[in-house]
Structure 1
């Protein structure tokens, strides 16, 4: 049974809201006896905002809890039996770490609401001016942009806009989706730290204002990144993950490596520098264009399940699939 806002060791009275054959979901109605691992969440929006879910649990217990999540998923879904407990290393910073945030601005019911999606009610927007996990530059930009987007007449009634802020070396990149309100860009130059403004969505994005190129730091080097492209939202933890993959790959000199669901192929580029022959497979045209311009790896644009046979056989295949998981054809090609 899944019960949000609770902690291991809590005794609670709950109300079941969804029941299936193998699982159920409930909402807590009363905490009868709190867990000793409960702490006061630092954010005043906790429980209303749909973002953070574990701020009420001590960091130590969060790490143990997340290890159990992975262990349970491997056993229940993957039919695997991990040996021993799964260790989860803490991120270098518990707050102000997130280098990418997506806010929502909606003009409904005669007023403009700006913040993050509400917990359990994603169709509603929780007013959030300050987010504890956002990079300080993102927070400063959001505070200013939030006020700008409330100007009378800027948003028509019924309009909903997603605003993604991304921290890069030069400052902050802004992506409006699906469209930028007030396209004359009159307020762009006055926003703190902003170096690029984009608009777009699933069918592509276009640069409206700002620098031609921005960069992020990976493996100690400046990497040019298309503004809307995806990289890890926690750069320090993300770098730790990439380091672990490179270390696990071992000596790759002269070996053939496939980086599937590559994104900007940060791992693939590093392995190429170590002597590997790397093929990166990625669906996003902006990412593949950046990869092709950077050089050093062979680039196949398209879905992994369709393009993987062209890259095989290989000595090493790195997989970083989306949340939906591996397509069955990918598994078939590899096995």
Structure 2
């Protein structure tokens, strides 16, 4: 009788890794930990590693800090902690300019030297390209810091409640009342005072946390608007519109329409984008907004299609393009997914995209690649969603040619990224 062979291990089980040693659990009720911060995360927190190997995120810490921290929230792979004491102060630290720093949710990095902020933002972009876009070779990053570190915001949105006007506290819906803000351009200080006074008169109102938009334009004129705008008719436009001048461009923006917040970077960003789109016969701009880049595209291309879905932005776009009546220019007031590729008649030399933080939808990217454009220039305020979309475009025949970073938001971890892709 043939002897039965002992069951063999499957290929998977033969090569199975030995189980990882179980991490020693960090509990919320244990004594404070002493940790050294290694780096900054994409969310802005300092990152340290406990003896157990657990990654711990620590707000308002700096690389090189030696800290005593208390764990506030524990997950399986990571934890959050707050600073109990700074045992050794990192040389990367500076004194914050705002007395509300750490309480107000508007800024996360006022305690960091600006050169450290710039390096961290480069690393955030680099990490997203490697981890999410899957780039095997490191891509050089051309980075442009902001020419000013404070007093740069020409536009902000704030909330008002019975206590006054301000921003939400960090990781909270509670309002942090702001009477002055060093991030805003000085021209907005009187407007902030005026709105705070108006809000205090309405303190008995039953409404909670009404949103306001404060804007200062290049004429030195400031305004505030309660959002949403209840009456946006032409009769009110002259009194509420803000006007921005950069290079030889003039841009009008009404309440609720988007404009880049860092006025000192307007000309720099505009010039950089136009250099990447180049020149040619035909360009398609997706998420055109009020026409910040459209004004330049009509000088670079014989024909331009500008796509925008926001009613207020489309109204601004048409006003801003009145001086371009001789240009072959079409404004498509619709969702981009409805227009691309259905209403695009020719092969563009370039597609310029400036989507919201969530990035472009998969259906839009598929539509864009069907246009077979020679170049795609993609401006993003979120490196992670940009990296995701670069991966999708790479799968559809486009190669990343250049990546640039722009610091539009000093004292925060936010960064603007410009990607240039070419058809293979």
Which of 202, 205, 214 pairs up with 1:165?
214
> Displacement, 1:47?
0.3
Which of 212, 215, 221 pairs up with 2:243?
215
What pairs with 1:23-38 in structure 2 (closer than 5 Å)? 25-38=80-93
Aligned to 1:19: 75
Q: Which region of structure 1 is more displaced relative to structure 2, 64-73 or 81-90?
A: 81-90
1:234 is aligned to 2:262: yes
> Displacement, 1:16?
5.0
Residue segments in structure 2 that go unaligned for 5+ positions in a row: 1-54, 370-395, 397-424
1:326 is aligned to 2:360: yes
The TM-score, its normalising length taken from structure 1, stands at: 0.82
Q: 1:146 to 1:298 in 2, by over 3 A?
A: same
CA deviation map 1:116-151 (0-9, x unaligned): 211121x11112111001011111210132123212
Q: Secondary structure at the match of 1:97?
A: coil
Aligned to 1:298: 330
Which of 279, 282, 293 pairs up with 2:305?
279
Q: 1:141 to 1:72 in 2, by over 3 A?
A: same
What pairs with 1:1-335 in structure 2 (closer than 5 Å)? 1=55, 2-12=57-67, 13-15=69-71, 17-19=73-75, 25-81=80-136, 83=138, 86-107=141-162, 112-121=163-172, 123-151=173-201, 153=202, 155-170=204-219, 171-178=221-228, 199-200=229-230, 205=232, 211=239, 213-250=241-278, 252-253=279-280, 255-293=281-319, 294-295=321-322, 296=324, 297-309=329-341, 310-311=343-344, 313-333=347-367, 334=369, 335=396
Q: 1:27 to 1:277 in 2, by over 3 A?
A: farther
In 2, the alpha carbon distance for the partners of 1:233 and 1:212 equals 17
Q: Secondary structure at the match of 1:48?
A: coil
The TM-score, its normalising length taken from structure 2, stands at: 0.66
Aligned pairs, number: 303
Q: 1:30 to 1:304 in 2, by over 3 A?
A: farther
Aligned to 1:194: none
Aligned residues of 2:289 and 2:308 also touching (Cα < 8 A): yes
In 1, the alpha carbon distance for the partners of 2:238 and 2:350 equals 40
Q: 1:224 to 1:51 in 2, by over 3 A?
A: same
Aligned residues of 1:261 and 1:319 also touching (Cα < 8 A): yes
Aligned residues of 1:74 and 1:81 also touching (Cα < 8 A): no
Residue segments in structure 1 that go unaligned for 5+ positions in a row: 179-198
Q: 1:231 to 1:158 in 2, by over 3 A?
A: closer
> Displacement, 1:277?
1.3
Higher relative contact order (CA 8 A, sep 6+): 2
Q: Which region of structure 1 is more displaced relative to structure 2, 58-67 or 209-218?
A: 209-218
Aligned residues of 1:257 and 1:317 also touching (Cα < 8 A): yes
> Displacement, 1:36?
1.3
Q: Secondary structure at the match of 1:63?
A: helix
In 1, the alpha carbon distance for the partners of 2:108 and 2:237 equals 35
